[in-house]
Chains A and B, each alone.
Chain A
């Protein structure tokens, strides 16, 4: 019987049925970071259980690392304590740790792919909701809680119920100035922040076929923002080419066998899905959020919604709550909304292609007066490559602070934070109240080039007008 990738990977990793009807699923690759793992190691010690397969867990540090302080101890003793704890847990249990000295440290969802640890047909778990990123490679990747991290450390498995699969097929080509970020914001605005509950999202169609791995990662990254715990793209030659020669990729005869296996995991053409949604890429425009969840999005030409458009009482109250928090005027164009901070980075858009794209257009331009602009590479490897290509210089000359790798201003666990009700044009993935470190801080999500456009104009702007965005561009 024809099967989807999800079913094939699931079947290959199902160990047995559990008494409650769930499946004991083998987790081939486990990624950990400093925020959610220390408690799990603590639980393991309490139970007196060892790490079952230490070579299948990989660690890095991302959330708490300062992006402008390199020497330990860190100014924040709590951050230092988390760092020390992770280092100790990895050493005690023989877990590979991509520490800062390794030159390979970075946001966990950037490090896994970069190292070739993220591979097609595998199961991946990490105590972080954006683990769905790894699905770009045709892996089934779950964000999990700390107790499940304990389960994976102790048994290399976890208890899970099978998901349904929704195919989201996007066909055609994006207009110039429209990016992968806009594709996922469009999907979330269309299907809702809960639309994916109970589903794995299979992203397919000719647009995804033409996408680079980095573009695929941007989309899969935000599956969780649409309520889907898992998002994936079927592996193809693009996937294979990306993985060739990476540190953890197979070599020699193993490589050929692996490629054949990997491609075999792709969904069979005639398999059935629980749901199918078809989108025309030509209908996707540069998108921005205006509210306090990623589903509250509009295109750059639209006006800020009025509660009157609500079709239910719930929607009405959520629009009112969002407008009040965002201090935005209903009916006004979103374009022209003054910003205070511009943030380039995160596991959604902190990759090489993101910085390359911005550098290409921002060269020779200047960040507007009074705007704090920071550019934070997602990993040390991204940083090094940007520095090699001179991208750091282009951005610095334009007025962006060029920082060291980490989650930075995506969330409030390190010194990079909004102050008061500052409004941030952000290439990250969450615009929840208080997300960027100030309880009244405001976030507008957008693509990296739109962040650059906001930085140079000082307000939310259409990158296609600010820069000369010509023929179709990919990022």
Chain B
């Protein structure tokens, strides 16, 4: 189960402004009626992208210039709300490979890391710089450098922190913990054996 070592994500980017973008906004609950995650991508941000008749509204993701973006930029407290993995799954299935925001809700951050999606934390003024650069030139190449903890764009760069354990997991191809957890199973049995409630 060798995993890709994710040291950097490069592509074009799109800026979806706003704070407290919650998981209901990212993927409305009615689209969670599914037994697989396939196909969730098309419902990403559905209720802000589409009107009641299913026609496009003005939204960065509906803007032709940003259609091929693979990096998502946003504001503070991104991914708050529910623990549903449908949200990062929708982001990934839509085609995004990395997210930059002022900060992230805890569970969302963990879910993303487990899917190999780096979540980089940057200052608002710095994110605004990147946003301005992509607005000026939507094709500008943006890189989330996991190793150097920076976001590079054109000739410029901003600091972008990826929290310790997540950064390590991405860099070393351990972002999906299953293999390592599985190796620990014999020790799991030992710890469980001394807990009376687990004997049932």
Contact = CB atoms under 8 A, between A and B. Distances in A.
B192 A156 contact: yes
Interface string B25-53: 10011101111110000000001000010
Contact of A154 (B86, B168, B182): B182
Contacts of B97: none
Interface of B: 1, 19-20, 22, 24-25, 28-30, 32-37, 47, 52, 76-77, 80-86, 88-89, 103, 105-107, 110-111, 114-115, 164-166, 168-169, 172, 174, 176-178, 180-182, 184-185, 187-188, 191-192, 195-198, 200
A258 B195 CA distance: 10
Contact of B114 (A26, A148, A229, A430): A148
A151 B188 contact: no
B63 to A, nearest CB: 21
Q: Give the interface centre of A14, A20, A38 by most chain B CB atoms within 10 Å.
A: A20
Nearest to B180: A18
Nearest to B192: A26
Given A42-B35, A145-B85, A318-B20, A155 B182 contact: yes
Given A19-B172, A55-B200, A318-B19, A434 B107 contact: no
Contact of A129 (B29, B30, B82, B115): B82
Interface in A424-468: 430, 432-435, 437, 439
Nearest to B178: A151
A141 to B, nearest CB: 12
A42 B36 contact: yes
B28 A434 contact: yes
B20 A82 contact: no
Contacts of B169: 20
A115 interface: no
A13 interface: yes
Contacts of A16: 184, 187
Nearest to A147: B114
Contacts of B82: 128-129, 430
Contacts of A314: 19, 76
Contact of A412 (B30, B180, B195, B196): B30
B20 A26 contact: no
A53 B47 CA distance: 40
A38 B47 CA distance: 25
B111 A147 contact: yes
A314 B17 CA distance: 12
Given A22-B177, A121-B197, A158-B181, 7 more contacts: A18-B174, A26-B192, A197-B103, A314-B76, A412-B30, A433-B24, A434-B28
Given A412-B29, A413-B29, A19 B174 contact: yes
B58 to A, nearest CB: 16
A12 interface: yes
Contact of B20 (A21, A42, A49, A193): A193
A135 B85 CA distance: 22
A78 B81 contact: no
30 contacts: A15-B191, A19-B174, A22-B165, A26-B191, A39-B85, A47-B1, A52-B185, A76-B33, A81-B35, A131-B83, A143-B83, A144-B107, A145-B88, A146-B85, A146-B86, A147-B111, A151-B181, A154-B181, A155-B182, A156-B192, A250-B197, A261-B196, A314-B19, A318-B20, A412-B30, A413-B30, A434-B28, A437-B29, A439-B28, A439-B47
Contact of A254 (B19, B77, B196): B196
A229 B103 CA distance: 16
Contacts of A412: 28-30
Interface of A: 12-16, 18-22, 24, 26, 28-29, 35-36, 38-39, 42, 47, 49, 52-53, 55-56, 64, 76, 78-79, 81-82, 85, 119, 121-122, 127-129, 131, 143-148, 150-151, 154-159, 161, 193-194, 197-198, 224, 227, 229, 248, 250, 254, 257-258, 261, 293, 314, 317-318, 411-413, 430, 432-435, 437, 439
A229 B198 contact: no
Contacts of B181: 18, 24, 151, 154-155, 157-159
A432 B24 contact: yes
A438 to B, nearest CB: 10
B111 A15 contact: no
Contact of B182 (A13, A49, A437): A49
Contacts of B30: 412-413, 437
B35 A38 contact: yes
Nearest to A436: B29
Nearest to B52: A439
B33 A82 contact: yes
A474 B30 CA distance: 36
Nearest to A28: B198
Contacts of A76: 33
Q: Give the interface centre of B28, B36, B166 by most chain A CB atoms within 10 Å.
A: B28
The 10 closest A-B pairs by CB, nearest first: A145-B85, A145-B111, A129-B83, A143-B83, A146-B85, A78-B33, A38-B35, A159-B177, A155-B181, A20-B168
